[in-house]
Amino acid sequence: MAFILSWGTSSCLSVIQNRACNTAGATPRAVHSALQSNGRGLWRCARSTPALLRANRFRAQPFSPSASPKFPFSSRLFATAATGSGKVAVVTGASRGIGRAIALALGEAGCHVVVNYSASEAAATAVVQSIKRAGGEAMAFKADVRQPEQVDALFTAALERLGRVDVVVNNAGITRDTLMLRMRPEQWQEVIDLNLTGVFLCSQAAAKVMLKQRSGRIINIASVVGQIGNAGQANYAAAKGGVLALTRSNAREFAPRGVTVNAVAPGFIATEMTENLPQEQIQKTIPLGRLGEAREVAGLVRFLALDEAAAYITGHTFNVDGGIAIGAGN
């Protein structure tokens, strides 16, 4: 991940450098060596770049797919932005919180969404209605994703009623927090059963369909806790760390059939899961100084699930954490 980011940054800088230098009269090689030589070079170049870009008429434009192609490569990418038209998406634990926001985002983007829930039937029905009001299609389906036969019923229903499964978001999850020395085996097991085994079962069911289709995208909702750990969450951290490893293994295994698998690692997001935590204390640990919103996680999931530009991304973890994991080397 760190490699990809630094590669991406230096590539972008190279493009900017070339453009900027052509305008300003300095050679690309001269600016490149200024950038490489030390931090001050980088800072100077970053400061002068907006002016140079303006001079070269490469101003940042508000997003518009039909904007004139002054920057043809970017315009082509934007023109293919997220559309879920005709796609079938299964979202586990979609009755509340982050799963609900993901279901709404995918529904609004044109997917036919299967809104999975295990207990909150009224909430799941309300999600379906919201998607339909927004012009989308959706159906609610009760299934405890810890149970193999219920997972099987969920995917069989999706396939029989909708004909295919294009996107699966493994979102259902719980916490049973307590310090390690006080953790009872059943508190450990409950979290592992849903947060890790549930992802295994749904990924296996999804793969049976997607590998045959030779297409599909699986997005696993992990957690920053699976990357950096957290006192009082040994069970949760172990399960989410397992999800990250499962994501990478499945990405390698499914890639030859065109199926991508990625993970999203939220930090603290304002949902029922976090409402009883000490909010002020938590905010102090977040560089951006606030809890995230479920729709902010949903925005990234929509990109990974639907955008053509995400077709070449697999096996990676993307944080939506207000900066909590900065420098953790994920």
Ligand X SMILES: NC(=O)c1ccc[n+]([C@@H]2O[C@H](COP(=O)([O-])OP(=O)(O)OC[C@H]3O[C@@H](n4cnc5c(N)ncnc54)[C@H](OP(=O)(O)O)[C@@H]3O)[C@@H](O)[C@H]2O)c1
Dihedrals phi, psi of 115, to nearest 5 degrees: -90, 100
Please identify every residue annotated as catalytic. Answer: 236
In angstroms, give the least distance from the CB of 274 to ligand X. Answer: 4
Place of tokens 């935590």: 277
Of 47, 272, 281, 329, which one interacts with ligand X (CB under 6 A)?
272
What is the x/- site pattern for ligand X, positions 5-44, by CB under 6 A? ----------------------------------------
In angstroms, give the least distance from the CB of 275 to ligand X. Answer: 9
Residue type, 80: T
Of 28, 67, 126, 144, which one interacts with ligand X (CB under 6 A)?
144
Q: What is the dihedral of CA 57, 63, 64, 67, to 10 degrees?
A: 10
Instruction: From 114-122, 126-134, 210-218, 298-306, give the range in contact with ligand X by CB under 6 A.
Output: 114-122
Q: Is 236 known to sit in a ligand binding site? A: yes
In angstroms, give the least distance from the CB of 116 to ligand X. Answer: 6
* Cβ distance to ligand X smaller for residue 97 or 241: 97
Q: Is 153 known to sit in a ligand binding site? A: no
Helices marked H in the chain — which ranges? 2-24, 28-37, 39-55, 72-79, 97-108, 121-133, 148-162, 185-192, 198-213, 225-228, 234-254, 279-284, 294-306
Of 146, 164, 257, 295, which one interacts with ligand X (CB under 6 A)?
146
How many Cβ atoms are within 10 Å of 117's Cβ, its own excluded? 25
Distance between alpha carbon 266 and the CA centroid of its chain, in Å?
8
Q: Is 237 known to sit in a ligand binding site? A: yes
How many Cβ atoms are within 10 Å of 195's Cβ, its own excluded? 28
Task: Find the binding residues for ligand X in span 87-106 (CB under 6 A).
Answer: 92-93, 95-99
Give CA–CA dist 34/29, Å, rounded: 9
Task: Find the binding residues for ligand X in span 164-223 (CB under 6 A).
Answer: 171-174, 194, 221, 223
In angstroms, give the least distance from the CB of 178 to ligand X. Answer: 16
Place of tokens 């001079």: 55
Give CA–CA dist 58/62, Å, rounded: 12
Please report, in range form, the residues annotated as the binding site for NADP(+).
Answer: 93-96, 171, 236-240, 269
Q: Report the interface residues with ligand X, using CB under 6 A.
A: 92-93, 95-99, 116-120, 144-146, 171-174, 194, 221, 223, 266, 268-269, 271-274
